[in-house]
Amino acid sequence: MTIDSPERAALTVTSLRKTFEAENAPVRALRGVDLTVESGEFVAVMGPSGCGKSTLLNLVAGLDVPDEGTITVAGELVTGRTEDELARMRRKHMGIVFQFFNLLEGMTVLENVVLPSVIAGRRRKMAETRARDLLDLLGIGDKASSVPGVLSGGQRQRLAIARALANEPTLLLADEPTGALDSAGGAEIIELLRRLHNGGQTIILVTHDPAVAQAAGRIVRMRDGRVVTSDPASASASAAASGMI
């Protein structure tokens, strides 16, 4: 698992702006966002629907392009790159976990995890060894030869996380990873993210659920395309309890 030098932030976002064209009027999704995430941090990004949190995650992942501002991951500039360069950046630095899993149903569990490493140029034997280690770590090693369709929701999300970790990413980016799960499955994923963080993985989690956000070390709250607060999770919980936020 990659842990960056402590002298260099895992992520630096500066003056990020993004506007989407809409039928009635342009939607200003991000209005000058600044954010730094240190190596080994677990940061939850919260806010009401439409506040810009998923847009921020997509821009960090290189899945969309900002109108203004810069994004740097492990000292490498994400902004201003071609599509091919962004794809290479994602393979090198980013593991992405989506709400609805996005698994390849025609492949086995093991093949789903192996594929990103093979695409990145790792030898298949090494990729399979890494994949089996991850599946064991995440508690689904016995499902390696199964297809994703026979897994429970929690197991499917564990598989999605294993796939995201295949290339030892600088950042694990999770967009509402418990949103499609029941409470038991969601609790499993929260505990798993805690374990990964304790092992040194840098995690940025987008969620609307305060209980999920409390798994993080820091909570960044967004409103109307801006960061409005950034506090340790314990302080954020105290403020919420007292009605301050």
CATH of residue 178's domain is: 3.40.50.300
- What is the C-alpha to C-alpha distance for residues 163 and 94, in angstroms, rounded to an integer? 11
How many structural domains are present in the chain?
1
| 68 assigned to some structural domain | yes
| 59 assigned to some structural domain | yes
| 77 assigned to some structural domain | yes
| 128 assigned to some structural domain | no
Please report the sign of the dihedral spanned by the C-alpha atoms of residue 15, residue 16, residue 22, residue 27.
negative
pLDDT of residue 1: 32
Residues in the chain with pLDDT < 70?
1-7, 235-245
Per-residue DSSP letter, 179: T
Give first-to-last CA distance, the chain, whole Å: 36
Domain that residue 234 falls in = 11-97+170-241
Backbone angles phi, psi at 233, to 5 degrees: -55, -40
Q: Are 158 and 97 in contact (CB under 8 A)?
A: no
Bridge partner residues of 30 (DSSP):
18
Query: Which ranges of 36-76 does DSSP label H, i.e. alpha helix?
Result: 53-60
| 145 assigned to some structural domain | no
| 17 assigned to some structural domain | yes
| 134 assigned to some structural domain | no
Closest by CA to 96, choosing from 167, 30, 7, 148, is 167
| 25 assigned to some structural domain | yes
pLDDT tens for each residue of 154-212: 899 999 999 999 999 999 999 998 888 888 888 888 999 999 999 999 999 999 889 89
